[in-house]
Each structure stands twice: as C-alpha cells, then as structure tokens.
C-alpha cells in the first residue's frame, strides 16, 4: 500500500512524494518528522527501518538536498540502501534521486569526498571521518540540509555524534536534526535523562511510540474493513521434566545465595533498590553490567570473593540458558567445563574455586545433570577392548546405562509440524495474496537452530525406517552425541593440565636452566601471545585442530578467574562441535556428489520449505517479506519479533498467517520474557511522565553562541609592566590534533571550551599546543602495549628532537579502578634484574619502565589525568601565555627532510647525530650543515679549524676544534 503526501521540510518544499507506509501510525510519525525535529523513541519491532528509509527517501527524491546519516552500523546502512532502491521503483517520475553513498573508510580521498559533498545526496558517514571533514571545511556546514542520527541511545555528552551536532548547529541553525532509537530502557537512568539527551542533540521535542499507544494499537489490532480484532498468537506451553525443574531450582538457589552475599559485603558501594536485588532481575544480562559499573571504581580494593561472585552470576545465568536451549549431553559437557575451570591444578596450593560450587544445591545440580545422560559409574576411560563392545551394543563403556533425556520442546515441535502438514494436506492450495505455505521456525541462537535441524533430519530418517514407535528420533541423535562425549571426556582432563601452566613456576624453571632470553617467543612459534591471540569461532577444521594441538599455552594463575576460563574452554568446546558438524556435512555432501548429477538439482518450491533461523533484529523484517511464511513457530519467546509479526500481518491483510509461541511454562524463560515486556512498558511510562513534567528544552541558538575568540580575547602579559597591561589576542586559540585522536572525546571537549581544533596528520605527537609544546596522550592499555613493542621510546625520541617541551599524558578512566604494581613488589623485580637473569617480573614492571623512560629522556614531563575532562583542563593550563601553533609547520615536523644532495635526514645514525648536537658550538641550526659535509666522527676529528669554519662559522668552529683537540693530560695535571 502506498500513501501520497505533501509535506514541507524546515528548509524547502519537498513536493509530492510517494511513500510506502501501510500503517496509520507510520504515516503519522513520518508526517510529524517532516514538519519538525524530534527524538523518536519507538518500541522494538514496530518497523523502525521502514520509517527511517521512507523519511530519507522523501528528501532524496526532492533533489538538491545534502542529508547525512550518522551512528548507523554496517547492517543498518545495508538495509537503508536496499530500502531506498526499492522505494525508487515507486517514484519513477522522480529523476533527482541519487541513492545512498557510503563513506566509511579513509580510502576515499579528500578531493573525492569534497566533490561528492558538493554534488549533494544522502551520505552514510562514520563519525570520525565526518568530524574531520567538518573541521577541515571539506564539507560546507551551511549547505547541509540535515542530519539523521540512528542509535540515539549511544549519544553522550562526549560522543562523536554530539560533537558533530554541535559543529553543525554552530554554523547552520536552519538544518534539521532527527534522531531515532528503539531502546527506551537506555533513557531512564540518571537525573532527567531525557532532558539531558535532548540537550546533547539540540532538540526540543521527544516523540514516544510504545506498543500501547492508541494509534499503534488500533493499527495493529483492527482490520480496516471489518474493524474486528485480529486473531491472537497461539501459545504453546511446554512443561519441564522433573529433572529440569530440579536443576532450575538448584541454580536459582545458587543465584539467590550469591546475590545475598554480594549485597551483604558491598551494600555501602552498590546503589540498588530492594526490588532490583530480586532473582528475576539477575537473570538479565544488564544486571551484571550495572553491578560491574558500580564496582569498577573500587574494583582493585574488592575482595577476591566479591569479584568472584560477580563473575559467578554470569556463569549461573549461562547454565540456565544451556538447560533450556541445548540437549542433555551438551549441558552435562558444559558443567564438566565449569568444574574443570574451578579445579586447582595438580600440585598447586592456590584455590580459585567459586563459592557456589560448595553449596548443596550445586551438588544436586551436577548429580541430576549426569543422571539425565546416563546412570552408573562416572566415565573415566574410552572403549578399548572387544569385551566392552560386546557388553554395550551402542559402544558405551561397561558399567553405564544411557538415559538420554529428550528436550520437551522437541517432541512438541514435531507435533506442530505434523499438524501443519496435515492441515496443508487437507487444504493444499497456496496462500492468497502472493504468500506461500512456508513454515518458519525462529530460535534465539544459531546453535539452537543447528540442533533443531539435526533433530528434524533425524526424525524424518527415523520415520522412513519405521523406527518411530521403537525409539524416538531424539534417541538416535543423543546416542551419537553420547558416543562423542565418551571419547571426549577422558582426554579432557589431560588437555586441561596441558592448558594451564603456572607461568611463574615456568619462569623460575627457565631461569634455573640458565635461559637468558628475555622474550619467550619460541614458545608461541610465531603466533601472538594468548592474551592477544584471536580465538577461532566457527572456523575451518584446520583452524580448529590447531587449538587442540597447542599444548604450551601459558596463563598466569594469579590473574585467572572462573569466568575467563569458562569462556576459553567453552569456545574450544564449541569449536569441537563445529568441527564434527563440518565433518558430517562434508561426508554427506560427498555422498550426494557421488549419487546425483548436475541435472538433478532444481529450485526449491516455497510451499515445501521449513526454514529454521535465529532472531536477527531488524533483519527479521526482511526475512518475513522474503519468505512470506504462512506458519511461524517461535521456538523461544521474543517480544520484538511478536511485534514484527503483528506489523507484517497488519501490512499484508490479504495473507494468511498462523503463529505458534512455544515456551516452558513455569520456567525462567517465561519469567524472563514477561520481565522484559514489563521493563519496556515501565521505561515508556517513566519517559511519558518525564516528558509531561519537563520544562521546555531551550537549545542554544547559533547567534547566542560565544565566538571562540571571545573567551580568550584578552590575556595578561606578565612581561609588560608586571601584568598591568592587557594584550588583545588577534589569533584565536587553537590546537593541532592528530586525526587518529578523534577516536577519543578529548577533541570534542577542547572544542566545547572554545578552542579551535585543527585536524592534521601529525608524524610527531598527538596534540601540538604551541610551537614548543608537544603532547603524546596514552591510555593505560596503550601505554602498556607501547612499552612492550618499544613504540613509546621512538615517539619520545622524535618529540625531544623537534620540541622544547615534551609531555607524556597518561589518561585513565575515573570510573574504573586504576593502580600500578604495589611498591612492595619492586624488591622482587629489583632482585631479578640484579641477578642478571632478565626475568619476566622485572621486564613487565610498569613502574620500572617509567623510571627508565625518564632516565633516558630527562626533559620529558609525565602528567597523569583521571578523565578526558581533566585532560582538556590540563591543555588549557599548558596553553596559557603561549603562542599559537602553526598547523602547516606541525604537519611537516618529522617528515623526511632532504638536504642539498637529496638524501633523507632519516638515513643518518640518530645516536651519532645526538652526540654531534651535544658538542660545544653546535646548535639546532648549524648541525645539519656539518652533518652534510662530514661522513663520520673520524673525519671530523681530522679536520682543521678553518675547514670546520666553512660549515658552521668561525666562532662555532673554534669551539668544536678546541673540544676535539683538548689535551686531557694537561687537565689532569692542572687538577693535581
């Protein structure tokens, strides 16, 4: 359905534009946005991609507009481009459209971007590139029609998007700003969060569109012709098995105990209401984020037990997800990994076990989980003799009896598919309105989809062999998984012993054997160290096997917690499953290749497809439009996808759609779904109340903004009459900033303090505050990596060569804990260094490296900053009473300078150059002349004073010649 509307924008008349907006609330929302600027907060699943695409299309077909899209990720840019191309077919009479142009890399040159901007159109630009282009006047700010901000919940006072909007509003007060977000929960934390967000984006209006909004409800629930409410979703409640209920109860008991202990030991630090400490809130991932955010400032002062419990909450929630989503064998395998991660290494006296493992509920958890798979003695060996094979026809070790409990949803899913098949057999005609009889099964994760596909395939195979009455389809699949588990379990203990090696003990052993190598590079054989190694997820079989062949991974046990170990081991476990799946797929493909020829294949019939896909956010809208399913089975509940189905059904009323919603009744899955719906509803309710009580947000007008030079118009000059006179500054204050620094928020804060920020590709330094002051900014992780690869030494060497005042600014986050190694540890470091072993402890001591850096460069100044805000204040203090830097000069510093013979200055020995510049009579001006005329110090020592004078002058030559030819013995006699 298309809707034709004529609405003027803030800058021009758009004329008649045909938009594809079938629902009334979508039409109303776009009409309001064409009239005025607003921050749109809409519930997830209500068609935000369609709304944004149609709004952009309205400006695109009008022609002569320059519209910028910021804050969009790659997938959003993709569906905007596809949506604009699709809408272009509805406006064939509009020849002015240019489509979407993506500017997301620096491969597109400056001239190319400037030419594209001048031609106009719709551009999706990354924030860092757009900031640099605006500051460099590559894009004319006054010619920008407007800016569209996606993912507005990520905009903060120091974000790049807020910086862009501030630069835009300084020079363009007529252009529009429209922001979108589908995360209402992000706008309810803090003091007046909605008001502050509107100020950051220079907006005055907030447009709220929850699911319970009257127009939205009427659009989704009533048919335009009959005005009757559409059919509800068919809910299929599945009961948990008794063992699954027992496991769920045990895990929830462990979560409750961890919450109570965490609250008791950190109640003074954690600012949470009593209701927020409920177990149901701990089942959401954002609970861990909130806890960690409040504990970050004092994280280094927390006890090991408190830090461990924060990680345990994530582990326990992960166990609950595995219980409901994965088969019993995979769940038991995951618990084995958790136990192994918390088991001390053989011979180690240090225990890093989680406290919840010692609870009675934990013992019940592990016992019942194993009983779901098999009963009998624990598996300690593989099948290695004929007696075992004869005893167990399924090739299981003697002494165990397989149980292999099936997931309750599997059988219910099979019954639903049988019901759908019978319904289609009774009425085989395809759906009217262009739809098909496709069955769509949606799951939460990709791995769940793989298990369902495997089960449905095994189910069809069992039916064909008439084995359905004897053994269920799940039995054959789980039996194969149990055989793989039996082969995996005995070797897992040995693999863990090889995986976790005590790093300190290994260093002592290497030192005792006389190993003087400071860098343990041969251990990794050209591969990066474990903390920098990119783990393979879903890679090839060769990449997966390389993980298991690595038997010398070094991990410092003092820095390992159970959550990190669980993640590492679980990824290895997932890679093994992926490898086995790949092997089965390759074998099946080879069998098909041997059986079938090219003439056998033909396109799928859409009426025979059963698609099993994971939830994928806004891309699910395109899946529904592409497949046009008649039956949708939601294997796991998802509120956003339910709304997407409602929008799809309301937009295509001539298509039949039957929806099944499966969930475990009385489980945390149902509780988590209801809690997510309630949280979103409460978030919109708070936003509506705040908007009703909010005073009008007065955005700063461009005429009311103070010019940058006004704040620094007058400066006290202490050299004139003791500061009694005032000098008028003609040149506004500015700072030359390296383009790579625009990833941080410091340039935005400097601009907010009325400084002109000049982006430039600097070779030396990050910030040039004056012709003589150069600043290199380092975060703590960057500082450590710079020390490790020696990059910081080269940077300091270059800065001291070209600038008089060199500053190393180390910036850490004020909201996170920060502390260097305790001074008590320096004794061990000093001892290892004095022993001459070059041990790892002294080599990795950050304090010792800072001391060595200061000793190597005495002129360097180290400044510590607790936040980007303090960094900006420090820069203002350093710039006081200083001259303004020249951007061109700062850019040319450090580049290859050519002499008269055309040779680069970087080809000279830097140590010899430093020694030459330290000689009497040699200055920063004349040393280059002598360097070009003399090849080495031997030739310089053999030259006469008159020959040296030809290069540096008579007075300088006299000082150099006397210094070289001075008789040391004469000096010794004089001293005697």
- DSSP labels for 705-766? SPPTTTTTSEEE-TTSGGGTSEEEP-SPPEEEEEGGGGGSSHHHHHHHTT-EEEEE--SS-S
Dist CA 121 CA 100 (whole Å) = 7
Highest mean pLDDT among 253-267, 392-406, 531-545: 253-267
pLDDT grade, residue 292 (50/70/90)? confident
Region of 710 on the Ramachandran plot (φ > 0 left; ψ -120 to 50 alpha; else beta): alpha
| Chain CA centroid to CA 43, Å | 23
Strands (E), 197-347: 206-209, 234-239
Q: Work out the angle between the directed axes of helices 954-964 and 945-952 (0-180°, nearest 10).
A: 130
- State how beta strands 374-376 and 400-402 pair: antiparallel
pLDDT for the residue numbered 618: 87
Dist CA 315 CA 255 (whole Å) = 10
Token pair of 115, please?
Answer: 């030419």
Mean pLDDT across 99-108:
78
Burial of 71-102, coded b for 16+ CB within 10 Å and e otherwise, reads bbeeebbbbbbebbeebeebbeebeebbebbb
pLDDT for the residue numbered 209: 94
| 361-390 per-position pLDDT tens digit | 999 999 999 999 988 766 665 554 444 444
**Least reliable range by pLDDT among 105-114, 222-231, 300-309:** 222-231
Mean pLDDT across 677-695:
90
pLDDT grade, residue 413 (50/70/90)? very high
What proportion of the chain, given as a percentage, has pLDDT over 90? 25
Mean pLDDT, the chain, rounded, equals 76
The structure's pTM equals: 0.77
**Least reliable range by pLDDT among 202-211, 214-223, 465-474, 526-535:** 526-535
Query: Regarding predicted confidence, which is higher, 234 or 149?
Result: 149
Residue pair 812/782 in contact (Cβ under 8 Å)? The answer is no
| 575-613 per-position pLDDT tens digit | 555 555 555 555 555 555 554 555 555 666 666 788 999
* CA distances in angstroms from 494 to 491, 547, 868, listed in the order given: 5, 15, 48
Q: What distance separates the 2 farthest-apart alpha carbons in the chain?
A: 120
Token pair of 810, please?
Answer: 């180390």
Q: Which of 276, 272, 255, 497 is CA-nearest to residue 355?
A: 255
pLDDT for the residue numbered 600: 55
Dist CA 676 CA 669 (whole Å) = 11
Mean pLDDT across 293-305:
76
**Does 826 have pLDDT greater than 50?**
no
**Least reliable range by pLDDT among 417-431, 522-536, 767-781, 848-862:** 522-536
- Residue 248 burial (C-beta neighbours within 10 Å; 0-12, 13-18, 19+): buried
pLDDT grade, residue 151 (50/70/90)? very high
Contacts of 724 by beta carbon, 8 Å cutoff, 6+ apart: none
pLDDT grade, residue 654 (50/70/90)? confident
Query: Regarding predicted confidence, which is higher, 8 or 818?
Result: 818
Mean pLDDT across 640-656:
89
Which helix (H) or strand (E) segment is 245 a member of?
A: helix 242-265
Dist CA 882 CA 899 (whole Å) = 32
Dist CA 661 CA 644 (whole Å) = 14
pLDDT grade, residue 900 (50/70/90)? very low
10 Å Cβ neighbour count for 801? 16
pLDDT for the residue numbered 520: 40
**Does 468 have pLDDT greater than 70?**
no
Dist CA 657 CA 231 (whole Å) = 10
**Least reliable range by pLDDT among 399-413, 735-749, 787-801, 829-843:** 829-843
Number of residues assigned to the chain:
976
Which helix (H) or strand (E) segment is 501 a member of?
A: strand 501-502
Dist CA 830 CA 841 (whole Å) = 9
SS3 state of residue 826: helix
Residue pair 442/631 in contact (Cβ under 8 Å)? The answer is no
Which helix (H) or strand (E) segment is 568 a member of?
A: helix 562-595
């Amino acid at each position: 359905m298309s809707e034709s509307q004529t609405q003027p924008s803030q800058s021009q008349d758009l004329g008649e534009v045909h938009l594809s907006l079938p629902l009334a609330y979508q039409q109303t929302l776009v009409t309001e946005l064409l009239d005025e600027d607003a921050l749109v907060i809409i519930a997830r699943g209500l068609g935000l991609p369609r709304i944004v695409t149609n709004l952009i299309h309205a400006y695109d077909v009008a022609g002569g507009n320059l519209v910028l899209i910021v804050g969009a990720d790659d997938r959003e840019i993709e569906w905007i481009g596809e949506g604009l191309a699709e809408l272009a077919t509805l406006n064939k009479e509009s020849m002015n459209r240019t489509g979407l142009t993506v500017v997301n890399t620096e491969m597109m040159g400056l001239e190319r971007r400037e030419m594209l901007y001048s031609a106009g159109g719709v551009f999706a630009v990354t924030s860092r590139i757009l900031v640099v282009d605006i500051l460099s006047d590559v894009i004319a700010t006054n010619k920008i029609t407007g800016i569209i901000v996606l993912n507005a919940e990520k905009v903060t006072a120091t974000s790049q998007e807020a910086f862009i909007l501030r630069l835009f509003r300084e020079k363009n007060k007529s252009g529009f700003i429209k922001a979108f977000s589908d995360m209402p929960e992000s706008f309810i934390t803090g003091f007046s969060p909605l008001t502050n967000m509107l100020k950051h984006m220079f907006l005055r209006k907030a447009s709220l569109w929850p699911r319970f909004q009257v127009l939205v409800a009427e659009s989704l629930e009533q048919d335009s012709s009959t005005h009757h409410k559409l059919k509800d979703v068919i809910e299929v409640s599945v009961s948990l098995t008794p063992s699954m209920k027992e496991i769920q109860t045990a895990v929830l008991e462990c979560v409750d105990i961890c919450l109570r202990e965490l609250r008791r030991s950190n109640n003074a630090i954690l600012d949470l209401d009593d209701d927020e400490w409920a177990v149901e809130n701990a089942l959401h991932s954002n609970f861990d984020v909130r806890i960690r955010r409040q504990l970050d400032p004092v994280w280094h002062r927390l006890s090991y037990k408190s830090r461990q419990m924060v990680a345990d909450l994530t582990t326990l929630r992960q166990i609950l997800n595995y219980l409901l989503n994965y088969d019993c064998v995979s769940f038991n395998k995951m618990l084995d990994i958790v136990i192994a991660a918390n088991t001390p290494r053989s011979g180690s006296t240090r225990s890093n076990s989680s406290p919840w493992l010692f609870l009675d509920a934990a013992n019940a958890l592990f016992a019942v989980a194993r009983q779901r798979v098999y009963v009998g003695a624990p598996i300690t060996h593989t099948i290695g003799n004929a007696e075992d094979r004869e005893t167990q026809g399924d090739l299981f070790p003697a002494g165990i009896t397989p149980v292999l409990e099936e997931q309750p949803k599997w059988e219910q899913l099979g019954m639903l598919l049988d019901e759908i098949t019978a319904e289609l057999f009774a009425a085989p005609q395809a759906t009217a309105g262009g739809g098909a009889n496709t069955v769509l099964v949606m799951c939460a994760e990709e791995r769940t989809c793989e298990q369902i596909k495997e089960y449905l395939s095994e189910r069809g195979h069992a039916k064909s062999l008439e084995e359905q009455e004897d053994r269920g389809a799940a039995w054959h699949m789980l039996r194969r998984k149990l055989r793989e588990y039996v082969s995996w379990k005995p070797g897992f203990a040995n693999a863990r012993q090889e995986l976790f090696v005590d790093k300190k003990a290994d260093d002592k052993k290497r030192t005792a054997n006389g190993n003087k190598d400071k860098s343990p590079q041969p251990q990794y054989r050209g591969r990066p160290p474990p903390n920098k190694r990119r783990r393979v997820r879903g890679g090839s079989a060769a990449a997966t096997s390389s993980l298991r062949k690595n038997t010398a991974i070094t991990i410092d046990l003092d820095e390992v917690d159970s959550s990190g170990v669980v993640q590492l081991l679980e990824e290895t476990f997932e890679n093994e499953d992926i490898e086995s799946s790949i092997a089965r797929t390759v074998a099946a493909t080879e069998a098909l290749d041997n059986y079938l020829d090219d003439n056998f294949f033909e396109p799928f019939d859409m009426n025979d497809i059963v698609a099993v896909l994971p939830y994928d956010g806004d891309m699910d809208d395109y899946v529904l439009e592409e497949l046009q399913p008649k039956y949708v089975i939601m294997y796991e509940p998802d509120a956003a996808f339910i709304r997407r189905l409602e929008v799809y059904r309301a937009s295509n009323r001539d298509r039949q759609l039957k929806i099944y919603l499966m969930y475990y009744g009385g489980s945390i899955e149902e509780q988590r779904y209801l809690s997510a719906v309630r949280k979103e509803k409460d978030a919109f309710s708070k936003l509506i109340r705040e908007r009703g009580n909010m005073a009008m947000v007065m955005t700063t007008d461009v005429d009311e903004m103070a010019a940058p030079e006004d704040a620094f118009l007058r400066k006290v000059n202490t050299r004139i009459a003791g500061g009694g006179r005032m000098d008028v500054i003609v040149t506004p204050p500015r700072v030359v900033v390296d383009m790579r620094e625009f990833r941080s928020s410091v340039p935005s804060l400097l601009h907010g303090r009325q400084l002109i920020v000049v982006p430039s590709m600097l070779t030396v330094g990050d910030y040039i505050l004056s012709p003589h002051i150069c600043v290199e900014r380092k975060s703590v992780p960057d500082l450590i990596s710079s020390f490790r690869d020696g990059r910081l030494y080269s940077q300091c060497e270059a800065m001291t060569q070209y600038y008089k005042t060199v500053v190393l600014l180390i910036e850490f986050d004020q909201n996170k804990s920060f502390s260097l190694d305790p001074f008590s540890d320096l004794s061990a470091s000093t001892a290892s260094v004095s022993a001459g072993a070059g041990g790892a402890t002294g080599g990795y001591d950050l304090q010792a490296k800072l001391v060595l850096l200061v000793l190597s460069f005495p002129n360097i100044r180290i400044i510590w900053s607790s936040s980007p805000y303090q960094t900006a204040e420090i820069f203002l203090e350093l710039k006081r009473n200083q001259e303004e830097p020249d951007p061109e000069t700062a850019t040319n510093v450090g580049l290859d300078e050519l002499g008269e013979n055309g040779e680069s200055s970087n080809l000279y020995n830097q140590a010899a150059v430093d020694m030459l510049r330290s000689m009497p009579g040699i200055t920063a001006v004349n040393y280059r002349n002598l360097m070009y005329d003399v090849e080495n110090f031997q030739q310089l020592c053999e030259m006469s004073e008159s020959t040296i004078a030809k290069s540096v002058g008579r007075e300088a030559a006299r000082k150099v010649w006397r210094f070289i030819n001075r008789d040391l013995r004469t000096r010794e006699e004089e001293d005697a």
